[in-house]
Amino acid sequence: MKKLNLESLNHTLELKTLIEIAQWCFETFNEKEVILSTSFGAEGSVILDAFLQVNRNLRVFTIDTGRNFQESYDVWQALMDKYGISIEVYGPDPEELYSLQTTQGPNHFYNSKEFRQNCCHVRKINPLNKALKGIKLWISGLRKSQSSFRQGLEIISYAEERGVYKLAPLFLWEEDTVWKYIRNNQIPYNKLYDKGFATIGCSPCTRPVGRAEELRSGRWWWEVDSNKECGIHLVDGKMIRKKAVTDFSI
């Protein structure tokens, strides 16, 4: 049984390079119980590149919602080809999707926030829960400066409801540092960024943003009071926060 003090660990991880965070990760957790999620945004690709340098057995998954952009499929293939890796894919349950589409139609999410959340639940959250079965550490590309809603997170936190630790290795990185890494290491990137997109989501629900706008303002732009989160990083409508001290076995 190992004891993880998240408060001091966050201070420690803040001072580590990306490679050092990856090393810490695989020294602390069993590689089979660690997984990186990517929606083929720039952040996920940076983490993928760095963590593969430390462990070629890094597990990676994506969620194919069925409404993704072609550009996301293109970079998905390019990353698999470049690194010679597998990427696990999860998607909506066919029966749930059948029911959703039959009763609400293909674009019901524009009609109300509740419909939109239903769609995100079927297409994203339920597949995510499947992907996280048996996982102890979930790595994601969250960054503090992506939105005011994400400011209160930490590099590592514990999502009690899902029973996983969440690691955001780029939490303190700024956007230009991410892009410098992508360019310097010639990593395939999603061509939607060249068209003004700042984040990568489903095609009917993501649009380009202006320079002065928050990066996530291109998501669900028709919702005025939205926190611009699909629910993957939320529990009961709130961002998942850390617990100060937690024991766990690895």
Q: Which residues bind ligand SF4 (CB under 6 A)?
A: 65, 67, 109, 116, 119-120, 123-124, 201-202, 204-205, 230
What SS3 class is residue 159? strand
Closer residue to ligand SF4, CB minimum distance, 73 or 86: 73
230 is catalytic: yes
Q: Is 249 exposed, middle or buried (0-12, 13-18, 19+ CB in 10 A)?
A: exposed
CA distances from 98 to 90, 93, 232, 250 (A): 16, 9, 22, 39
Closer residue to ligand SF4, CB minimum distance, 4 or 97: 97
Tokens 């009071």 belong to 225
Report CA torsion sign: 111, 113, 114, 115.
positive
Residue 168 near residue 142, CB atoms below 8 Å: yes
Q: How far, in Å, CA of 102 to CA of 239, rounded?
A: 32
CB of 68 to ligand SF4, least distance (A): 8
CB of 119 to ligand SF4, least distance (A): 3
Residue closest to ligand SF4, measured at CB: 202
Q: Which of 119, 120, 202, 230 is catalytic?
A: 230
CB of 15 to ligand SF4, least distance (A): 36
CB of 39 to ligand SF4, least distance (A): 10
| Structure tokens given for 43 | 């952040």
Q: Is 189 exposed, middle or buried (0-12, 13-18, 19+ CB in 10 A)?
A: buried
Closer residue to ligand SF4, CB minimum distance, 120 or 156: 120
Which residues does the annotation mark as catalytic? 230
